[in-house]
């Protein structure tokens, strides 16, 4: 009798541990899944990396995991069909067909205002040291858009207003972290420059090289980079006033090494590919000229876009250009996928496995951001960052996150 009770007690403990383990696993999956998923209209919801997650109740009904989802907007995902994991919103849409570009292009941005990149002390005629900008509450990374109600779009425009102030207090409209505020700048007459100065350095434009990810050939809209263009001094996202996508040819690939990122180097051509109109956490966006759209799309392949839950670890490819102007496919391995992925450009970890690319570039290099990622015949994402400690590895963003910003 004593032995029987001991066996029952042991079984109960093991069963309790197993149940707790399952609920702990369910919590883990809940943290790894988003609040909403988009699936191809008329197709079943399948989560490639989590086949053990099944589609449970749908607004009080039960649907088999392999069945086509009804039009209900919310479903409960379950572990092995028994333990609820998460209630998610389902959006049924037809995935767009996009042209995979993988070509380098030149980026020329004019800021929406001027960005403060540095504050500096000013010595007055009387020998006093101060920083008028700091005294006005200005910080590095702030964007000044108006000075005395006059639009400021260049360094020279702001300098003219400050130097011509005669020491009069200037009203500035400033943006910081998405909020607008008013600052009052009182310039100081510099004993060094012999001019009225505000004690700050500003930048009004940015230029560089990136890779175009995909194109909607019907509208000419395109997405690139997969991450924002940030100011090199402040790290802040550059607000766009206007921008140009320019022709560029890669002239050199500086090979990346551990601790030293590589770089695509090239020269800007005289031709214009189109305009840039958006710079945000998911990349840079714009519209190609009709001629550029026709020329680029003629030499590139079209792919159906893959939604995040279709992406799985394993073999894939990137399409990129490391020599001249022609893109080429290279083999990679997707090592992990974070389906919960926020718009930070780090939704998956990839590793370059292609010997040709490793020999030529050492892996992922600067300028390769935006290179489309292809898997199972679909366009699923774009390269965004390189691991400085290991240039063979980097991050990628979901294509669907970038495609949200195409309006066509």
| Catalytic positions | 227, 354, 369
Contacts of 339 (CB under 8 A, 6+ apart): 32, 33, 34, 47, 49, 308, 309
Q: Give phi and psi for 370, each to the nearest 5.
A: 105, -10
d(CA 31, CA 25): 10
How far is the CA of 212 from the CAs of 269, 296, 324, 402, in angstroms?
16, 11, 15, 12
Positive or negative CA dihedral for 56, 58, 61, 63? Answer: negative
Alpha helices in 33-147 (DSSP H): 132-135
b (16+ CB within 10 A) / e for 15-25: eeeeeeeeeee
Which residues are 144's β-sheet partners?
114, 174
- 396 burial type by CB count under 10 A (0-12 exposed, 13-18 middle, 19+ buried): buried
Closest CA to 112 of 279, 240, 243: 240
3-class secondary structure, 186: coil
Long-range contacts of 263-268 (CB under 8 A, 24+ apart): 263/365, 263/366, 263/367, 264/104, 264/209, 264/322, 264/365, 264/366, 264/367, 264/368, 265/209, 265/367, 266/104, 266/106, 266/209, 266/367, 268/106
Closest CA to 312 of 330, 331, 338: 338
b (16+ CB within 10 A) / e for 46-62: ebbbbeebbbbbbeeee
Closest CA to 392 of 349, 334, 352, 356: 352
Contacts of 362 (CB under 8 A, 6+ apart): 255, 256, 257, 262, 391, 392
d(CA 127, CA 189): 11
């Amino acid at each position: 009798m004593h032995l029987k009770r001991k066996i029952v007690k042991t079984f109960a403990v093991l069963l309790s541990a197993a149940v707790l383990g399952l609920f702990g696993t369910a919590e883990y999956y809940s943290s790894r899944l988003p609040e909403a998923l988009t699936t191809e209209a008329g197709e079943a919801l399948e989560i490639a990396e989590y086949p053990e997650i099944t589609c449970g109740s749908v607004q009080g009904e039960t649907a088999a995991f392999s069945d086509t989802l009804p039009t209900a907007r919310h479903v409960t995902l379950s572990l092995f069909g028994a333990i609820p994991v998460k209630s998610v919103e389902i959006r049924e849409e037809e995935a767009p067909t996009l042209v995979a570009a993988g070509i380098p292009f030149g980026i020329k941005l004019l800021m929406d205002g001027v960005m403060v990149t540095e504050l500096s002390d000013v010595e007055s005629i009387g020998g006093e040291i101060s920083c008028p900008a700091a005294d006005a509450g200005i910080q590095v990374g702030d964007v000044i858009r108006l000075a005395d109600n006059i639009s400021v779009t260049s360094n020279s425009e702001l300098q003219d207003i400050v130097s011509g102030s005669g020491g009069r207090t200037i009203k500035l409209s400033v943006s910081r972290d998405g909020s607008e505020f008013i600052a009052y700048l009182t310039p100081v007459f510099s004993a060094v420059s012999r001019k009225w100065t505000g004690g700050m350095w500003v930048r009004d434009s940015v230029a560089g090289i990136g890779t175009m990810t995909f194109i909607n050939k019907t509208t000419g809209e395109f997405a690139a980079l997969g991450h924002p263009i940030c100011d090199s001094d402040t790290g802040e996202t550059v607000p766009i006033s206007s921008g140009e996508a320019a022709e560029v040819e890669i002239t050199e690939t500086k090979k990346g090494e551990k601790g030293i990122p590589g770089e695509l180097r090239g020269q800007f051509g005289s031709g214009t590919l189109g305009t840039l109109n958006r710079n945000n956490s998911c990349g840079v966006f714009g519209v190609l000229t009709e001629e550029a759209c026709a020329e680029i799309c003629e030499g590139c392949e079209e792919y159906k876009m893959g939604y995040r839950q279709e992406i799985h670890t394993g073999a894939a490819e990137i399409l990129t250009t490391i020599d001249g102007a022609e893109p080429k496919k290279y083999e990679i391995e997707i090592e992990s996928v974070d389906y919960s992925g926020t718009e930070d450009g780090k939704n998956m970890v990839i590793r370059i496995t292609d010997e040709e690319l490793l020999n030529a570039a050492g892996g992922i290099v600067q300028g390769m951001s935006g290179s489309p990622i292809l898997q199972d015949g679909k366009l699923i994402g774009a390269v965004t960052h390189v691991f400085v400690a290991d240039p063979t590895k980097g991050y990628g963003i979901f294509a669907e996150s970038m495609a949200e910003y195409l309006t066509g």
